[in-house]
Amino acid sequence: MAASSLIKGFLDRLFPPRCVFCRRVIADRRDCVCERCSDTVRRNIVVKINGVVFCRGCAVPFIYDGLVRSALLRYKFRGFRHYAACFGSYIAECALKRFGAAFDLVTWVPVSAKRARQRGYDQAELLAQAVSQSLGIPAAAALIKTVDNPAQSAIKGAGARRANVKGVYLPSPDFPAAGLRVLLIDDVITTGATISEAARALLTAGAEEVFAGALARAK
């Protein structure tokens, strides 16, 4: 037995791979979701999400409730950053089904520098990197968030949420998306205000088309 598989066997006993949704132990680390969850977790079956504009369509594999919601909260707020690979592969699979290989670049809706420092990572960036790896399409930062505005989750009403994000995204100085078809990644789509504003900023800066991708959307 090779040393690497010995180490892997040891790590699997010490930290057995668990389903990202229900956290049951699973046999194969590569699966990341148990059989039961892959049959029962609610999938998203719509192509168009009301409130999402400036995007050619949305690739969103799950509905944001129950086990998906708790998994995303662990990912964002409790340091389970390794979920990104699993989540990203679901978004990539969904984007391929919806749009084929219709894009040249993967990018993400950034958090402000202050928020990224507090959390230690930008959750949408990690998702975008994982999507990029699954699809074999490059990822690059195309937007920067200049304003540390209140979190969208603290604001009620679609109009107020649109106003809260208006103008908060600017193209990055070496804008890598000019003339390109871009897959824009965020973690959750709620009213669509955030991803629409980011898509608008990409188009204004010269992207050719924007497609939206996220792990989940609100019910």
Residue 111 backbone zone (phi > 0: left; psi -120 to 50: alpha; other: beta) = beta
Cβ of residue 20: shortest distance to Zn ion, in angstroms?
A: 8
Give the whole-angstrom CA distance, residue 72 versus residue 68.
6
Q: Answer yes or no whether residue 37 interacts with Zn ion by CB under 5 A.
A: yes
Angle between helices 158-165 and 193-204 in degrees, nearest 10:
40
Q: Which residues contact 23 (CB under 8 A, 6 or more apart)?
A: none
Looking at the Cβ atoms of 68 and 135, the one nearer to Zn ion is 68
Q: Which of 17, 18, 22, 141 binds Zn ion (CB under 5 A)?
A: 22
Q: Are 125 and 109 in contact (CB under 8 A)?
A: no
Cβ of residue 92: shortest distance to Zn ion, in angstroms?
A: 20
- Residue the block writes with tokens 């699993």: 86
Looking at the Cβ atoms of 20 and 212, the one nearer to Zn ion is 20
Q: Answer yes or no whether residue 62 interacts with Zn ion by CB under 5 A.
A: no
DSSP letter, residue 111: P
Q: Answer yes or no whether residue 41 interacts with Zn ion by CB under 5 A.
A: no
Looking at the Cβ atoms of 37 and 124, the one nearer to Zn ion is 37
Looking at the Cβ atoms of 34 and 58, the one nearer to Zn ion is 34
Interface residues with Zn ion (CB under 5 A)?
19, 21-22, 34, 37
